[in-house]
């Protein structure tokens, strides 16, 4: 019996020695060349020239003069940093309430329920209750003017503390601009409605493409297509073919450039957030001393950041740029690797977290590529106004499609030729995206 116990203890000691040796060897291994390259690709670039929309978006629901936006936003960021430092395990509060001398512009709950949302026919909804929506817009005029003023900004760079717990601006307020455009059109201000729709489309094409946030990147793609783009198409259906578009539509309907389809800047911002917060997993002030000690055995911040960089860097490669130009699905590396590999011996938690996050990134690329195809389809729909009957318009739109970078995508005409659809790469909401075609004008009577 004593011999059995002795051998058992010896076996346990040998096993522990092997585990310790593997753990130590794993921790001492340098990052691979591919990991170092991925980390380098995701380093932040200098801020673009122009005006950053962050402060205006952060304070959208507060009546802060433009001249004070920066100072008030700075104060909010300082408050959030203090809250994170004082209560590391707690979530900081959302954008601060209005202070003395500032009006709270956020709509009431009842008004929020009336405003249009993405992927619904806002124009139809507003036209069904013209009086109610006129009053809604009147009650919220100050907020809607601030939403419209976002057209004067050039890019979005988040200024929150680099922490996943830091709150984002309330982007639901931005969507209310759709209702403003639809109400202007429904009230008889046709050109005003068209101008608002085109200005919103142009604004969110620009801010989305020039954002360091995946949230803003995806929001811009959705708002410019499911939101303002679809609204503009529905407006045109009700207008004569010879009704001119206002000047605001020139920029809104510009061809889609390759850089507009990239999510590289947004992925760099996402990586910066991951990199800045990776240490909190094993920070005793955040998770407690006991958990921090245990976490250090199975989590290595530097190697975890490298693994996440490998998952994100494909968005910034030459292959990604070529795929965007050719409008083909990006071949995102999906490496299904064993958790028993050496680099996971001392970083099992990091390997698991990286593996969980990896599949989502290719979907972000697909959604932005789809947004580009949607915008080109909208341009095509506008271009065939006044072409003639349905058959002539279908032929003209197909000819237009051969001139775009999306010509390999399938188009199909539905609803007896009164609508057109484009096939999408991201199919979680369906395989096709649809726009109505402008109605041909009846031939003059003899």
Distance, CA of 263 to CA of 412 (rounded, Å) = 28
| pLDDT for the residue numbered 132 | 97
Distance, CA of 112 to CA of 92 (rounded, Å) = 24
Is residue 77 within 8 A of residue 159, CB to CB? The reply is: yes
Residue with tokens 């809607």: 144
| pLDDT for the residue numbered 439 | 76
- Torsion angle defined by CA atoms of residues 35, 38, 43 and 44, in that order, rounded to the nearest 10 degrees: -150
Q: Pick from 335, 276, 268, 286: which is nearest to 307 by CA? A: 335
The SS3 call for residue 254 is coil
- Torsion angle defined by CA atoms of residues 111, 117, 123 and 128, in that order, rounded to the nearest 10 degrees: -50
Is residue 118 within 8 A of residue 223, CB to CB? The reply is: yes
Q: Pick from 318, 312, 364: which is nearest to 333 by CA? A: 312
Size (the chain), residues: 446
| pLDDT for the residue numbered 441 | 59
The beta-strand segments (E) located in 310-417 are 411-414
CA distances from 151 to 212, 252, 369 (A): 18, 11, 23
The SS3 call for residue 423 is strand
Distance, CA of 24 to CA of 400 (rounded, Å) = 62
Q: pLDDT digit string (tens) for 177-194?
A: 999 999 999 999 999 999
Burial of 80 from C-beta contacts in 10 A (0-12 / 13-18 / 19+): buried
Distance, CA of 143 to CA of 140 (rounded, Å) = 6
The CB density around residue 386, as the number of other CB atoms within 10 Å, is 14
| pLDDT for the residue numbered 307 | 86
Is residue 375 within 8 A of residue 205, CB to CB? The reply is: yes
Which residues lie across from 155 on neighbouring strands?
52
- 425: Cβ contacts below 8 Å, ≥ 6 apart: 329, 366, 369, 370
- This prediction has a pTM of 0.89
Query: Where do the domains of the chain lie?
Result: 1-30, 35-446
254-284 b/e with 16+ CB inside 10 Å = b? eebeeebbbbbbbbbbbbbbbbebbebbbbe
Is residue 218 within 8 A of residue 361, CB to CB? The reply is: no
Q: Pick from 361, 352, 309: which is nearest to 334 by CA? A: 361
| pLDDT for the residue numbered 446 | 47
Ranges in the chain, pLDDT < 50: 98, 100, 446
């Amino acid at each position: 019996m004593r011999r059995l116990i002795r051998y058992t203890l010896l076996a346990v000691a040998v096993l522990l020695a092997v585990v310790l040796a593997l753990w130590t060897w794993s921790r001492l291994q340098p990052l691979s060349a591919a990991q170092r390259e991925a980390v380098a690709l995701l380093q932040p670039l200098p801020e673009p020239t122009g005006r950053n929309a962050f402060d205006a978006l952060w304070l959208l629901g507060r009546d802060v003069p433009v001249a004070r936006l920066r100072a008030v936003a700075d104060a909010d960021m300082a408050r959030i940093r203090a809250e994170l430092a004082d209560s590391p395990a707690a979530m900081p509060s959302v954008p601060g309430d209005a202070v003395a001398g500032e009006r709270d512009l956020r709509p009431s709950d009842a008004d929020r329920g009336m405003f249009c949302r993405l992927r619904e026919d806002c124009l139809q909804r507003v036209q069904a209750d013209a009086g109610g929506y006129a009053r809604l817009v009147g009650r919220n005029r100050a907020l809607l003017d601030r939403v419209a003023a976002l057209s004067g900004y050039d890019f979005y760079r988040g200024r929150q503390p680099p922490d996943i717990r830091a709150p984002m601006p309330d982007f639901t307020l931005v969507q209310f601009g759709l209702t403003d455009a639809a109400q202007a059109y429904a009230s008889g201000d046709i050109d005003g409605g068209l101008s608002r729709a085109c200005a919103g489309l142009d604004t969110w094409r620009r801010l989305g493409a020039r954002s360091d946030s995946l949230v803003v990147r995806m929001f811009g793609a959705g708002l410019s297509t499911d939101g303002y783009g679809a609204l503009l198409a529905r407006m045109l259906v009700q207008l004569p073919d010879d009704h001119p578009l206002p000047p605001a539509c020139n920029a809104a309907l510009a061809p889609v450039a390759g850089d507009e389809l990239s999510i590289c800047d947004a992925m760099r911002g996402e990586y910066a957030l991951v990199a800045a917060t990776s240490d909190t997993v094993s920070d005793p002030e955040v998770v407690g001393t006991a958990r921090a000690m245990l976490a250090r055995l199975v989590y290595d911040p530097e190697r975890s950041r490298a693994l996440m960089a490998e998952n994100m860097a494909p968005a910034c490669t030459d292959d990604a740029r070529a795929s965007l130009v050719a409008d083909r699905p990006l071949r995102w590396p999906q490496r299904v690797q064993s958790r028993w590999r050496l680099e996971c011996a001392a970083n099992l938690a990091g390997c698991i977290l990286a593996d969980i996050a990896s599949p989502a990134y290719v979907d972000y690329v697909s959604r932005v590529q789809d947004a580009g195809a949607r915008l080109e389809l909208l341009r095509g729909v506008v271009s065939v106004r006044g072409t003639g009957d349905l058959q002539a318009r279908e032929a003209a739109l197909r000819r237009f499609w051969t001139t775009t970078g999306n010509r390999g995508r399938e188009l199909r005409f539905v609803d007896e030729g009164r609508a057109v659809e484009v096939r999408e790469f991201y199919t979680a909401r369906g395989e096709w995206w649809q726009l109505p075609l402008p109605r041909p004008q009846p031939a003059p009577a003899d």
